[in-house]
Amino acid sequence: MAIVFYYWRFYQHQVQERERVENLYTELQLAYKQVEASTVRAERQRVARELHDTLTQGLAGVVMQLEAAKSFLDQGNADRAEEIINTSMTTARTALHESRITLTDLRSTTEESLPVRLQLVADAIHKNYQVTTTIQLNDIPDYSPSQLTEITRIVTEALTNVAKHAQTDQAIISGSLTDDIFKLKIIDFGTGFNTHDKKA
């Protein structure tokens, strides 16, 4: 009887431990889903703010400029009106480019693959700025959606800077895993700048 009682207690203990583990696993799954949902909401809010800052304000500026151009045309000052129209066209193009990048960033958040996300960014950069980006990635770690989003943002900002300032039409995204550290590089073939002090 003592042996039977011992094994019964042991069995009961195992059942309780299993239930605790299952409950903990369920709680962790719920917490993960809540964090994921919060991340998605935060990302959507960020994109909404960026669209407001780029597209909405850009269009508002264009409307004001076109109204001013119309006023100059009514006054017979065609030269000044043409200058304002040219400025408004530049403003509209800039807003369109930045909005496309922001929308590409939003679209990429639905992808679970880093190469796919970065390819979307590269395609948008090429479409907006005619910069061709080659992607070379090896041994990519398993990143969470929020980590992928942060990486995508960093790469987007880096490639946008290359397109705007490097005076080049070629760039490379290179990533590799070395000693358990994933290193991602953005390489361009632009003019660069002088890092040495000329006065030295």
For 14-47, the pLDDT digits (tens) are: 777 777 767 666 766 666 566 556 556 666 666 6
Q: Are residues 62 and 9 in the same domain?
A: yes
Residue 150, pLDDT score:
84
Q: Are residues 101 and 171 in the same domain?
A: no
* pLDDT mean across residues, the chain: 77
- In this prediction, residue 92 has a pLDDT band, given cuts at 50, 70 and 90, of confident
- 143 lies in which domain range? 113-200
Q: Are residues 38 and 137 in the same domain?
A: no
| Structure token pair of residue 112 | 């679970």
Total-model pTM = 0.53
Q: Are residues 105 and 165 in the same domain?
A: no
The Cα-based distances of 33 to 22, 38, 155, 179 in angstroms read 17, 8, 26, 31
Our count of domains for the chain comes to 2
Q: Which residues pair with 175 in a beta bridge?
A: 137, 184
Residue 60, pLDDT score:
77
For 174-191, the pLDDT digits (tens) are: 999 888 899 999 999 887
Check which CATH number belongs to the domain holding 164 and give it. Answer: 3.30.565.10
Q: Are residues 88 and 118 in the same domain?
A: no
